[in-house]
Amino acid sequence: MSETLLGYGLSVGALLLFSSSILVTKVAASRISLGLGFLVATLVNVGFASLALVLEFALRSQDFQWNTPAFLLFAAAGGFATYLGRWFFYESVVRFGPSRASIFQASSPLFTAIMAWLFLDERLSWVIASGIVMTLCGLVLVSYKPGLAPDVGGVVALPTSVVTHRERLLQSVFLLGLSSSMAYAISNVLRGSAIRIWNEPVVGALSGAAFGLTLHLLFSVKKTGLFSSWRSADRTGIWLFALIGVCNILGQMGVIGAMRYIPLSVVALMTLCTPILVFPLSHLLFKGKDAVTFSTLLGSALTLSGIVVIVLR
């Protein structure tokens, strides 16, 4: 198998894993609290990656060479993806459904292009600029909901008269979705830089997951309450979030590995096209709970079209 074909295979595998994780999150979050589920998934990230590393060391034939700068890049990437990106994304899935949440996650290549323009002095051509406009228009359509009350996807909203500006922002699909997308974009750039100087995708995934878990334990509120609620939590919900953790860490390993063999922009595009799978499956599994409207479909088409224009320029 050629290296290019291997890269595409790893990207497709990651796409399938991430899509599965999105759908399972909607079910799992109805059984246990999101905070506890996040902790379970992140613990499983670290545990499963540790087992994978032990297995890899047992089977590898080459000597292990340590690289501190790359390790730090992988760890920082985990902070953005495992902690910030995933937290914002889980909130988006629970509040607004997997279809809308996955569209915002898919916009991270847009922010990768913008960051390259701002910090790496890469000029935006008219083609890229038109792709940005298409993507932003698509996001507006996806997030738009007629009426004054915020759309919280099953979360009970406060009456309009007592909803403050801050509460509107915290309940905004646009804010949560874009925050998640930005965090994942930064993580992709850091991982892509690290894997090109240190070809250790399992170590990279483990270091990122461990750092993300550390941040969660340090800054998450009610840590003691989360651990104490573990015993009384729904067992099925625990196992579902454990499955999510396995899917996410395997997907991360696939993404990191693919970045070694094919361009970063191609990996980002392929692995973040989850709506292609999530839309039909979500409508089939959650019919009546996660409806896909014409506005959502049109916005999704514009968003994905804009991403293709930007990434495949």
Over the stretch 12-31, which tens digit does the pLDDT of each residue have?
899 899 889 988 988 888 88
Residues 54-76 as b/e (b if ≥16 CB within 10 A, e otherwise) read eeeeeeeeeeeeeeeebbebbbb
CB-based contacts of 114, cutoff 8 Å, min separation 6 = 132
Q: Residue ranges of the domains in the chain? A: 3-311
The H or E element that residue 239 is part of is: helix 235-259
- For 125-159, the pLDDT digits (tens) are 777 677 767 776 776 676 555 443 333 333 333 33
Amino acid at 64: F
Residue type, 52: A
Helices 264-271 & 108-119 angle (0-180, nearest 10): 150
Here the tokens at position 144 are 């738009």
Contact 177, 98 (CB under 8 A): no
Q: How far apart are CA 33 and CA 97, in angstroms?
A: 16
122 and 265 in contact (C-beta within 8 Å)? no
pTM of the model: 0.73
**Chain segment 197-241, per-residue pLDDT in tens:** 899 999 999 999 899 888 878 876 565 666 667 777 888 999 999
